[in-house]
Amino acid sequence: MPTSSAAWRALRREVLREQPLCVHCLRAGRVRAATVVDHLDGNAMNNERGNLQPLCLSCHAIKTAREDGGFGNPRCR
């Protein structure tokens, strides 16, 4: 399902309701609200629940830049 669809928005709300904190921040000892649902494998069409993780906007931007080659980083895919 495209991330612009009503089904994605409902799934996103469900993920954030179940896990309201950023998982990357928690691992680093910080408590920050998650606002983004990230696809672990980078495939926006793979909406299996195990492929989704809640992140704050900052952690999502860092992960995306690292994987997609932003800020001079090499592309991972």
Q: State residue 8's pLDDT score.
A: 93
Q: Which helix (H) or strand (E) holds 41?
A: none
Entry pTM: 0.84
Q: State residue 70's pLDDT score.
A: 64
The pLDDT tens digits for 19-39 are 999 999 999 999 999 999 999
How far is the CA of 13 from the CAs of 24, 31, 39, 73, in angstroms?
19, 19, 14, 31
Q: State residue 77's pLDDT score.
A: 54
Tokens found for residue 9: 């928005």
pLDDT along the chain (77 residues), means of 10: 85 97 98 97 92 97 85 57
